[in-house]
Amino acid sequence: MNSDIQKLQPSRLWHYFQEICQVPRPSKKEEKIAAYLTGFAKKHQLSYEVDPTGNVIIRKPAMAGYENRKGVILQSHMDMVCEKNSGTAHDFDKDPIRMWIDGEWVKAHGTTLGADDGIGIAATLAILEANDIPHGPIEALFTVDEETGLTGAFGLTPDELKGRILINLDSEDEGQLFIGCAGGKDTVATMALELVAVPPGHVAYKTTLTGLKGGHSGDDINKGLGNAVKLMNRFLWNAQHSFEIGVSSFNAGNLRNAIAREAFALFTVPSENEAALLDYVKTFSQEIRDELKVTEPGHVFSIEPAALPEWILDSALQSDLLDALYACPHGVIAMSREIPDFVETSTNLASVRMDNGKITITTSQRSSVESSKKDVADMVACVFYIINAEVEHSQGYPGWKPDPNSEILHIAVDSYRRLFNQEPQVLAIHAGLECGLVGAIYPGMDMVSFGPTIKGAHSPDERLHIASTVKFWELTLEILKNI
């Protein structure tokens, strides 16, 4: 384990965060972290259960003198987003996260760190272990598959949880208390992969776009970041119309809830158009460099000769695909009319994949207005209906309606004032939180969400701010003492 991490305070919080980072926990593969959590419960003689969905619930009685306090649920999710840079050798099913300290931040080497939501798990375990932290009855809820489907929250049943106050430890800006979130759903389009032989007289090139920041498709959607799917498609679309290229492969983006940050394409071009194409590459590179110089100064767009492939896309299919990706919206659709500077509705063009005999385009939509969520999902679907693609919508998940009169909110605000002599921000978040589903299953559940500062979530640039983690810990303890 990293000895520098072990020196950080509070020591037990960082101890558990480092232990968690040694346990592989991709979405839908939480068996190892679930076993770690149940092993923790056994070691500390705490009652626990694993529900049919795979969620782990650990219960701890109230500290002496706090038996009459209201029960509280500390909630975090087990899984992490598994993203890595293209040059990083890492197997998320087997390898531990390699952590390091860079000034004020804890980072990982070339991969996501998993502070989302490993730090929430770590704080909960440190509280469950301690004998000197005042609190009423605690239920610690660790859910599965938050990142790719909210499966754990969907699987909760009305009789599982006894408490009616829930603290969600899965927000990413210290000093902000969240009392509402957007709902979301996915829209996925598929088409059969129709290929034809490469015509004679063609040469092949591979083009690569790397170094984009990526980021969370909710929290970062309004930051003007580059989308690798849109940028690579823009190049291919123009090259198709001007130089008659034939696309052999086009893969970009990865996860539904991350802004696409890398793209790779292989294409052919008639020999007589090769020189003009290479001149256009210089023009295109300069265009996107100028456009993204503020938000994406580290991006790299490159092209190199490649071995001639045997097949390329049928020309009609290629035109349909590139047209649809160009037309598909990405980014903020509407800002809130009620909350200043708050994104109300957005859509993320997350990925395009060509494999297993088909083309798959994955998108995700978010909105704090249920009708707007459906509207933007239908808007995206229609882009792909036009080219006769098959389109499926996910079940989706509900938003969480803010309650400014919430008891736990007032406790949290008062606790923050006492500790830090300043006012916290009370906000709704454009990202999805499990609170929306919990509130639907447990009507009347009183909820608040907060956390330390995490930047670059869902990307290999993910980093956890050390000083804010201390404040997050102190606030959690202060709230527990005052419930």
The model's pLDDT over 384-397, given as tens digits with 9 standing for 90+, comes to: 999 999 999 998 88
Distance CA 47, CA 353 (A): 45
Element (H, E) at 367: strand 358-367
pTM: 0.77
Q: What's the pLDDT band for 1 if we cut at 50, 70, 90?
A: low
Please give the average per-residue pLDDT across 363-385, as a whole number: 96
Characterize the bridge pairing of strands 138-143 and 56-60. antiparallel
User: Is 216 in a helix, a strand, or coil?
Assistant: strand
Per residue in 343-360, pLDDT (tens digit) is 999 999 999 999 999 999
Length of the chain: 483
3-state secondary structure 252-276: ECCCCCECCCCEEEEEEEEHHHHHH
Please give the average per-residue pLDDT across 395-407, as a whole number: 90
Q: What is the pLDDT of residue 429?
A: 87
Distance CA 462, CA 415 (A): 28
User: Is 392 in a helix, a strand, or coil?
Assistant: strand
- Cis check for the bond before 52: say yes or no (omega within 30 of 0): no
Closest CA to 127 of 38, 59, 196: 59
Please give the average per-residue pLDDT across 278-286, as a whole number: 97
Task: Round to the nearest angstrom and report the end-to-end CA distance of the chain.
Answer: 36
| Cα pseudo-dihedral 217, 364, 232, 199, rounded to 10 | 160
Helix-strand-coil split of the chain, %, nearest 5: 30, 30, 40
Q: What is the pLDDT of residue 2?
A: 67
User: Is 125 in a helix, a strand, or coil?
Assistant: helix
Structure tokens at 37: 């959590």
Q: What is the mean pLDDT of the chain?
A: 96
Q: What is the pLDDT of residue 431?
A: 83
Q: What is the pLDDT of residue 395?
A: 87
Is the pLDDT at 451 greater than 70? The verdict is yes
Domain residue limits, the chain = 3-181+399-482, 185-393
Among 2-16, 435-449, 451-465, where is mean pLDDT lowest? 2-16
Closest CA to 264 of 321, 207, 307, 204: 207
Q: What number does CATH give the domain 185-393? A: 3.30.70.360
Please give the average per-residue pLDDT across 187-195, as a whole number: 97
Same fold, 3-181+399-482 and 185-393: no
Asked whether the beta carbons of 413 and 472 are under 8 A apart, the reply is no
Q: What's the pLDDT band for 337 if we cut at 50, 70, 90?
A: confident
Q: Domain 3-181+399-482: what homologous superfamily?
A: Zn peptidases (3.40.630.10)
Distance CA 184, CA 44 (A): 38
Dihedral angle sign, alpha carbons of residues 432, 436, 438, 444: positive
**Residue 397 DSSP label:** B
Structure tokens at 63: 């500290």
Is the pLDDT at 449 greater than 70? The verdict is yes
CA separation, residue 62 to residues 28, 125, 136, 139, 481 (Å): 33, 15, 4, 10, 11
Residues known to be catalytic: 79, 146
Closest CA to 175 of 480, 433, 420: 420
Please give the average per-residue pLDDT across 259-265, as a whole number: 97
Give backbone dihedrals phi and psi of 473, rounded to 5 degrees, phi first: -65, -50
Closest CA to 399 of 373, 427, 424: 373
Per residue in 79-135, pLDDT (tens digit) is 999 999 988 999 999 999 999 999 999 999 999 999 999 999 999 999 999 999 999
Distance CA 236, CA 230 (A): 10
Q: What is the pLDDT of residue 144?
A: 98
Compute how many other C-beta atoms are within 10 angstroms of the C-beta atom of residue 35.
Answer: 13
